[in-house]
Amino acid sequence: MAGLKYMSGFGNEFSSEDPRCPGSLPEGQNSPQACPYGLYAEQLSGSAFTCPRPANKRSWLYRILPSVKHKPFAAVSCGNLTEDWDEVEPDPNQLRWLPFSIPKPTEKKVDFVSGLHTICGAGDARSRNGIGVHVYACNASMADRCFNNSDGDFLIVPQQGEILITTEFGKMLVEPNEICVIQQGMRFSVDVFGATRGYILEVYGAHFELPDLGPIGANGLANPRDFQCPVAWYEDRRVATGYTVINKYQGKLFACQQDFSPFNVVAWHGNYTPYKYNLDDFMVINCVAFDHADPSIFTVLTAKSTRPGVAVADFVIFPPRWGVADRTFRPPYYHRNCMSEFMGLIKGHYEAKEEGFQPGGASLHSIMTPHGPDADCFEKNSTAELKPERVADGTMAFMFESSFSMAVTKWGLQTCQKLDKNYHRCWEDLRSHFDPKWKPNKH
């Protein structure tokens, strides 16, 4: 949307005022006896007060009315959103889904919250340790209602249709091939402009960080300055018919009513904010000699566990790049992983499975479940001329990788009716090339 402004940086100490109210940020302190313009001061904490400074997350919001002014919460239907990982028996098979359906507006108006569907996940929001993987499929904007996730952070990956997200910190327009993160406790509302679909990685108990670069050095992968944070914007709007705040709490949905818009923050400062990122800005690192580097070189964001080097969840992309490795099978290798791998496709064709894996669909390769290129990909790339080539042009695939062993929901296995029952057949034509009489070429 033309005219939206952003601030640049990842995890910075930002400060912002709506230009309609200059001087609305208090000077020299957070909670004066009387705030400028008669505003209320409210802190939003994203970490324990006593966290070490590098991990301490909080923002101060200066608002027309505090968020505590609302009627009591009451339970509402969760639809297909769940944290019940025991609905169906575990399934260790390779799973692939055809593109998830988007409801037609002529049949039913569905907004972002009503269009949330949980595919898989693990852990427990109450113990603040776990993840959820969801898709959203909607056709209508949220009217006089907002969403608030008390359980964790949402990393949102639009696949079809741009979304205009209004938050307490300001507005963000997020298009396919961009991502955004709405952190725990932040209220937001989503406007759409037609048939809209995307993916969500939810993380309980940890926030996303930029991965450490180690020997890569100071520059590379996702650079901090390419992340964008909204600027302050407020509306002083009374809603006589009632404004609905939907709260995801301990895996369930609750709703309360208030008579004003929650997006009444005139100014704010802090380092706990929503943000967005364009995947085209990712500085790709790749093999330039031989062999195939692990997909960890494509990590955009990571949510760390307490075990060094082991992530609760990584967000990994497979962007357009050059393939130049000599004497190497260049596509992904055959693999059994101690991590769970959920993949989605924003656009184009994924190199290792050009048929069947479609934009708006997904796959799940669970812990220690074997996976790798289909038979056609293996045969073609085992004999291909190894000249420099562009890989994945016009494509953007991604992966949510997690140390959790994820369970698939009943909706994911049955209700959605998008599970590809023939997925296993893409490996059926793999044949033995074993030759016991093979001898190395003499040079």
Task: Give the integer Cα–Cα distance in Å for 403 and 312.
Answer: 6
* Annotated binding residue 107: no
Catalytic member of 292, 349, 424, 443: 292
Pair 192, 138: CB distance under 8 Å: yes
Radius of gyration of the chain (CA): 23
What residues contact 442, with CB distance under 8 A and at least 6 apart? none
* Annotated binding residue 341: yes
Residue in this structure with the two tokens 């889904």, named with its chain if needed? 97
* Annotated binding residue 335: yes
Q: Which residues pair with 304 in a beta bridge?
A: 311
CA 291-296-299 angle, 5° bins: 135
Pair 117, 81: CB distance under 8 Å: yes
Task: Give the integer Cα–Cα distance in Å for 112 and 219.
Answer: 36
Beta strands in 79-162 (DSSP E): 95-97, 116-124, 129-138, 145-149, 152-160
Active site residue 292: yes
Pair 316, 296: CB distance under 8 Å: yes
Identify how many contiguous H helices and E strands the chain contains and give both numbers: 2, 28
**Burial bucket for residue 100 (CB in 10 Å: 0-12, 13-18, 19+):** buried
Pair 66, 268: CB distance under 8 Å: no
Q: Is the sign of the CA dihedral 6, 7, 12, 14 positive or negative?
A: negative
* Annotated binding residue 207: no
**Got the DSSP string for 317-359?**
EE-SEEE--BTS--SPPPB--SSEEEEEEEES--TT-TTT--T
The Cα diameter of the chain in Å comes to 87
Which residues are part of a known binding site for Fe cation? 335, 341, 371
**Active-site residue list:** 292
Which residues are part of a known binding site? 335, 341, 350, 371
